Amino acid sequence: MAIFDFLIGNMDRHHYEMFTKFGDDGFLIHLDNARGFGRHSQDELSILSPLSQCCRIKKKTLSHLQLLAQGDYRLSDVMRESLLEDELSPVLTEPHLLALDRRLQIILQTVKGCVEAHGEQSVIASDPAGESAPDSGRANPTS
């Protein structure tokens, strides 16, 4: 959740909700994103505190982030293309789209620092059985 909030610049997350209606294997519900995409020029590093302090990230999440940092799948380009058909286009301004790429690099640098300090096995959590990361050269359209 901290990674998502940092990407969108949401400094207003006071809590999160878990959906557990069908058992203990719940999932996060991303509510209250109203402060997202506010100031494109400000990267509030405190939002990344859970990542930088705990130094844990799922392998699949990291793989997706690494893919979105590659030229063919750049996050700003993917978002720009995704939002083209929106009735409210343009939903995000160009500076906001470019901020996504800049913030993504900060996230990847944070993970790199964690790996250097604690080792890859301590930082990158293995994926549960049945979940796989995208191939290095192709995006996984079902993810």
SS3 label, residue 84: coil
SS3 label, residue 125: strand
What does the alpha-carbon distance between residue 127 and residue 19 come to, in Å, rounded to a whole number? 20
Sequence-ordered list of residues with C-beta below 8 angstroms from that of 13, at least 6 positions apart, any chain: 1, 5, 32, 47
Decide if 77 is catalytic: no
Pull the structure tokens for residue 119: 């080792």
Catalytic entry in 5, 12, 25, 101: 12
List the one residue out of 110, 121, 112 whose CA is nearest residue 3. Answer: 110
- Catalytic annotation, residues: 12
